[in-house]
Amino acid sequence: MNDNLLYHSASDDSFTQDKTWQSIAVLADFLSPTPNVFIDSRIVLINMENLPSEVWCTFSGVINEVTQNQIMYSFCGAIAQNVQTIHFLIQSPGGRVSDGVALYNYLVALPINLITYNAGAVQSAAVLPFLAGKRRIASDTAIFMIHKAGTIIPERVPAWFLRQRADDLEMDDRNSEIILKKYIVMPGEKWEKYQSMDLLISAHEALQFSFVHELSAFKPADRAMFHIT
């Protein structure tokens, strides 16, 4: 087993190699059909030697602190091996706006050619990292959804809690709209609907409104591909 590996366990945020390393390595050897990619429902293990300059990456899940960390960690590993282009497919119902903003700011600043894909649904906070792609592509049956930030209120809360939560939501809205309006060009009636409801955008509307540059399928070439869990 080669020691030059990048791995992460989604069920354990520690990156220690002492007790878990041997079992992870054995599992990866058992699962992997190729020398470059090892995938389990809890583990992503990538052989970081001899990666090509262009890789394909998929993410499916909620945008939160844990998945933000996993995406950043995986991209750091690829860039460390001089990967120049990352094709990044996102399938997500959304999540925390602050984590979506952080991912956008991280991805848009990377010194790589980032191409983002929507093959099904990119919604809510997940739209923000999607927009970080230098080129953005959607399947012709994909959808986007944007809306104002929301929250779940416990049954009994004091007034100060409600005021603070309202301030947080308004800040989330301001930050996300700054990003959205850098890229999206929609008619006024669409923005009005966005103010008060979940706004669904079809793939063909997404092309018209500059969410994406083209409609096409996600088609990984016969090269390195990994999944972030």
Parse the chain into domains and list their residue ranges: 1-50, 51-152+178-229
- Distance between CA atoms of residues 50 and 190, nearest Å: 47
Is the confidence at residue 13, as pLDDT, over 60? no
> Over the stretch 34-59, which tens digit does the pLDDT of each residue have?
444 433 333 344 555 567 889 999 99
> Over the stretch 176-219, which tens digit does the pLDDT of each residue have?
999 999 999 999 999 999 999 999 999 999 999 999 999 999 99
The CATH number of domain 51-152+178-229, selected from 3.90.226.10, 3.90.1300.10, 3.20.190.10, 3.30.930.10: 3.90.226.10
- Distance between CA atoms of residues 11 and 41, nearest Å: 9
Share of the chain above pLDDT 90, in %: 62
The two tokens of residue 169 are 């939501």
Q: Which pLDDT value is given to residue 121?
A: 98
Share of the chain above pLDDT 70, in %: 77
C-alpha closest to that of 200 among 146, 161, 156, 152: 146
The two tokens of residue 23 are 């079992």
Q: Other C-beta atoms within 10 Å of 94: how many? A: 21
Is the confidence at residue 154, as pLDDT, over 90? no
In this structure, of 13-22, 149-158, 185-194, the range with the lowest mean pLDDT score is: 13-22
- Distance between CA atoms of residues 125 and 95, nearest Å: 5
Rounded to two decimals, the pTM is: 0.79
Strand order in the sheet with 113-118: 214-215, 135-138, 113-118, 85-91, 54-60, 225-228
